[in-house]
Amino acid sequence: TVSQQEMLVVGFKESHWNKRLLEEAGVIFSQFEAQGGEKGERHDAVEYPTSFGHQIGTALVFSAIVDAIFWQLEEDPISGFKDRCGVIFFLIIVQLFFNLTALEVFIKERKIFMHENVSGFYRVSVYFLVKIIFDILPLRTLPIIVMSAAIYFAVGLNPGMDHFFMFMFSLICTTLAAAGMSFLISSTVHVFAVAQLLLTILYTFMMLFGGFLISLDSIGPWLNWIQHINLFKYSLTALYINEFKDRNFCMNNGTLCKSGNSFLMENEMNYKEPWDLWLNHMALLINAVVMMVATYVQLRRMKKTT
């Protein structure tokens, strides 16, 4: 007998919606590998912004640099905090600027997309989903997993697999939010150099008002509100809580100790409740979703305004 679940699967596969989705996605896939030459050799019809291997290689290079500089950090109250803050700051910067390559996703194919969409080859939604999925998974998420595994234990961050996976998840949330911003700019700005300059300026302001270079209390009220929409601030807070909460850093002779909780209090970070950590992840993911929805809206408007 055929179960109800199997009937639903068969019904979905034979549905008009599924057939149309596969047909439209096939048109987009053909852009990556178009038939060329008498022997059927394949070439890229539309160059992808970067390759998976290149991203993994870059992640490994940065991991080697971080490991060489911050190898097995001490846990004393003097250098322990400073060095760990330096590692976290550098990793956030790397995640942000890695996403500069995402600016090419919708800029380089703008004319082709407009022509094929207007001609009815595929819907905007299918094009958007294919591009996002094939960019987010291989080029954004997987390199973070590699980098996290290569850095976390070599540097000597907070021991425990739960802290390791939380560290990895925090970096993934950071990358998704940064990628969403890159996608939105890519779908709005026509010139890559202008888009790159705009994104660099935004990242610079985020670093400045993120709480690392200057205390948020030292910023005037007319600019202090920036922290509430600052990707850097949410990422920094999440990684700080994961690294320092409920830890003690002491000299080898035990004469001087400082708790991680007191460090978090000095930096005016709420950490006592579990929600205080997840709030930062939620903010990053909401930002990513909002940016990607705005990107989709901009793609739908593109053929009318360009």
Name the pLDDT band for 245 (thresholds 50, 70, 90). Answer: very high
Among 25, 45, 65, give the residue marking a domain's end: 45
Rounded-to-integer distance, Cα 271 and Cα 245, Å: 7
> In 3D, which of 150, 139, 172 has the Cα closest to residue 54?
139
- Same domain flag for 112 and 139: yes
The residue type at 171? L
DSSP 140: I
Residues 121 and 141 in one domain: yes
167 and 117: one domain? yes
Q: How many distinct structural domains can be found in the chain? A: 2
Residues 60 and 29 in one domain: no
Instruction: Report the C-alpha gap between 212 and 225 in whole angstroms.
Output: 16
| Overall pTM > 0.75 | yes
226 and 243 co-located in one domain? yes
In this predicted model, what pLDDT tens digit does every residue of 110-142 receive, in sequence order? 877 777 767 777 778 888 888 888 788 888 888
Note whether 247 and 289 are same-domain residues. yes
Q: Average pLDDT of the chain?
A: 81
Burial of 285 (0-12, 13-18, 19+ CB in 10 A): middle
Check whether residue 26 and residue 142 sit in a common domain: no
Look-up of token digits 């919708």: 106
Same domain? For 67 and 213 the reply is: yes
* Residues 41 and 63 reside in one and the same domain: no
Our CA angle for 96, 132, 231, nearest 5°, is 30
- Residues 177-220 have pLDDT tens digits of 999 999 999 989 888 899 999 999 999 888 888 878 777 777 77
Residue pair 146/55 in contact (Cβ under 8 Å)? The answer is no
Q: Residue 92 corresponds to which tokens in the numbers above?
A: 């956030």
- Residue pLDDT, tens place only, 143-169: 999 999 999 999 999 999 999 999 999
